[in-house]
Amino acid sequence: MACYIVNRNAQDNGQHEVHTETCTTLPDLDNRIPLGSHTSCHGAVAKAKTIFPTADGCANCCPDCNTG
């Protein structure tokens, strides 16, 4: 299981990206909200959507959950 975080700051398109903690494009520490461990990005994105309805997976580390 991987540990996930969501970025507090939205991208230009309004989405808050969900990342694994080992992603190469993580936001600054101050902008990370931990989501805990999940067996896939789908569970992490679902949890992130309870905080930010516009949450989406990072294209780099969560491509299966990235909608663009």
Band (19; pLDDT cuts 50, 70, 90): very high
What is the pLDDT at residue 18?
A: 98
68 pLDDT tier (thresholds 50, 70, 90): confident
Take residue 23 and report the two structure tokens written for it: 């992603």
Pairing type for strands 16-20 and 55-57 reads parallel
The H-or-E segment that residue 17 falls in is strand 16-20
- Reading the block at residue 11, the tokens are 């991208």
Q: What is the pLDDT of residues 22-62, one digit of tens each?
A: 999 999 999 999 999 999 999 999 999 999 999 999 999 99
Beta bridge partners of 25: none
pTM of the predicted structure, to 2 decimals: 0.94
Whole-number pLDDT of residue 33: 98
Distance CA 68, CA 54 (A): 12
